Structure 1
Amino acid sequence: MTAMAAEPRPVATEEAKPDPRPGREVYRDVLAELLGQDERLVCLDSDTGLFSSVDWGKAQERYINLGIAEQNLMGAAAGLARSGRIPFVNTMATFAATRALESVKLDIAMNNLPVRIAATHGGLSAGHLGSTHHSLEDLGVMRMLPHMTVLAPADAAATEELVRACVDVPGPVYLRLGRGATPDLGPGLPPLRIGRAQPLREGGDVTLVATGPYPVLAALSAADELAAEGIAATVLNMHTVKPLDTAALAAAAETTLGIVTVEEHWAAGGLGSAVAEVVAGLGAGCPVLRVAVRDTFAAGTGGQRHLLERNGITAEAVAARARQAVHGRGGAGFSR
């Protein structure tokens, strides 16, 4: 096995203290600040309650609550964007990606308009509300739309970085946020750049590519477990699902024995599919193994971590897939 190229960074564990603010609240606070500085920005709400305590100051007229009417929300955002504004629209991820999809597709994406869709309760973070509110399709749906940039920050600090960075991105942006607070990844990380993977570990045996808070934490924990066995894993935080960092994936396919993708999403259509498409196009012969939710609805209710474990999105599953790649038993498929 190859040696680690760098000392392991501190890993946030389940006992680690999270930022007291959920990512959606970090987003809210940054957005309120930005609206006070940039008159192009408008906040369109769907009665989420997220902004009830915000003092908008001189930006008060640029906060508009349209009520629970997601299609209208997207249509109004498209009209404002056509008029030179940069709207941030706010709703739950499953409503943005399914209920309002026609409006997102025809009004926003087709016209390549600078609308920022801030989608909270992504993945299984609304697990207490049951399958109707799980969002396991949104990354796949949104990355298929032409012109759409798709972002999934892994912690509170990354949320702030990506909100600030996305303001001047050309065309529409989908920003996937969770519901509750999640552990921080720690200090001293490389800065985020939209469209570039963030390297968290370096290793020459296998590459773990993850998106979103708990998948990234699972990849980091799996890298620790693998290191104890002499397997050196590169860990990439793929906070930008579209445009995908094809250069980083090409390097992984050329220099490591396999790629394992980790996501809080159905196996079809999401990060794993996107990575497999890139690697297949390279003709590198590098296996891509996925850790994702299988082709089934995540039954029942419960906390986000409970449902992730129940659906096999764990460090143990990531490590098992990495071993398969390293020892030549990769093949196609995903965990469980």
Structure 2
Amino acid sequence: MKNDVCYSDNPVKLVAISAGVSYGALGTTHHSLHDFAALRAINNITIVAPADNFETEQAVKAAIAHEKPLYLRFGKKDMPYLGDADKTFAFGKGRIVREGTDLAIIANGETVYPALLAAQKLQEKLGLEATVVSMHTIKPLDTELLEQLAKNGRPIITVEEHMIYGGLGEACASHLFQKGYHNPFRIMAIPDEYTVTGSQGDIFRHYGISEDGIFQSATDLLNN
């Protein structure tokens, strides 16, 4: 990828399937949790993880027209449609799937839907309104939207099906801190360990990147 694709500026589209913990029951040897970190370190590549069929369709169409190196990351399971709140799609531009003023939850890929469910639960149980963003493009990151979300000082949570190091969360935290933002911030991802074995849902619940886990983390962050 570094030499033959990116350095040579070849318009290769690398499509990854069953990423993250899609092959949950096969164990940690079959869990792909380091791709964002490895590829973000390479110059001249766009990194995209769609969250539903709408984003997937748009990403494939955009990939065909994209004349630069591109990495498309897909999971394995059927994902629910995220709704009509934002029907636009462009590489490098996050998609707001729910508007709120109390906190922001930024996710990508198959973690966007549990983030949306957690936001709905926050509203129903606590009367809190959370913005949910599908940050489908990891690189280039939508820093304009990120700063917009941070301006009112509200807490920010990032959620990803990736190792806690080198992914969406660290990309967002690095940019915001260097720009002088100090929002309460939490990265929800897979910790630095060999992952447990189980279904994708089991693993999400174990590491707290499920609906209930995100709800609890948001509640704790707001109460601190």
The TM-score bracket by the shorter chain reads over 0.9
The separation in 2 between residues aligned to 1:176 and 1:298, in whole angstroms, is: 20
1:216 to 100, 109, 112: 112
1:266 to 152, 155, 163: 163
The separation in 1 between residues aligned to 2:45 and 2:161, in whole angstroms, is: 20
**CA deviation string 1:247-306 (max 9, x = no partner):** 111011112411100000111111101110111111121122011111111122x32112
The separation in 1 between residues aligned to 2:104 and 2:47, in whole angstroms, is: 22
What are the residue-to-residue correspondences of 1:1-336 with 2, within 5 Å? 104-187=1-84, 189-213=86-110, 215-228=111-124, 229-300=126-197, 302-327=198-223, 329=224
User: Which of 1 and 2 has greater Rg?
Assistant: 1
Residue 187 of structure 1: how far off its partner (Å): 4.7
1:188/1:282 CA distance change after superposition, 3 Å: closer
Count of aligned pairs: 223
1:171 is aligned with what amino acid?
A: K
Residue 179 of structure 1: how far off its partner (Å): 2.0
Higher relative contact order (CA 8 A, sep 6+): 2
The separation in 1 between residues aligned to 2:120 and 2:54, in whole angstroms, is: 23
Structure 2, unaligned stretches of length 5 or more?
Answer: none
Q: Is residue 257–residue 325 contact of structure 1 (8 Å, CA) maintained in 2?
A: no
Deviant stretches of 4+, over 4 Å: none
Residue 188 of structure 1: how far off its partner (Å): 5.8
1:164/1:224 CA distance change after superposition, 3 Å: same
Q: Is residue 291–residue 313 contact of structure 1 (8 Å, CA) maintained in 2?
A: yes
SS where residue 255 of structure 1 aligns? coil
**CA deviation string 1:157-213 (max 9, x = no partner):** 221110101222242100001123222324564221111110011111111000012
Q: Please, what TM-score do these two structures have when normalized by structure 1?
A: 0.63
The separation in 1 between residues aligned to 2:218 and 2:105, in whole angstroms, is: 8
The separation in 2 between residues aligned to 1:255 and 1:167, in whole angstroms, is: 38
The separation in 1 between residues aligned to 2:219 and 2:206, in whole angstroms, is: 21
The separation in 2 between residues aligned to 1:322 and 1:188, in whole angstroms, is: 22
Structure 1, unaligned stretches of length 5 or more?
Answer: 1-103, 330-336
Residue 311 of structure 1: how far off its partner (Å): 2.3
Q: Is residue 190–residue 199 contact of structure 1 (8 Å, CA) maintained in 2?
A: no
Q: Percent identical across equivalent pairs?
A: 37
1:159/1:233 CA distance change after superposition, 3 Å: same
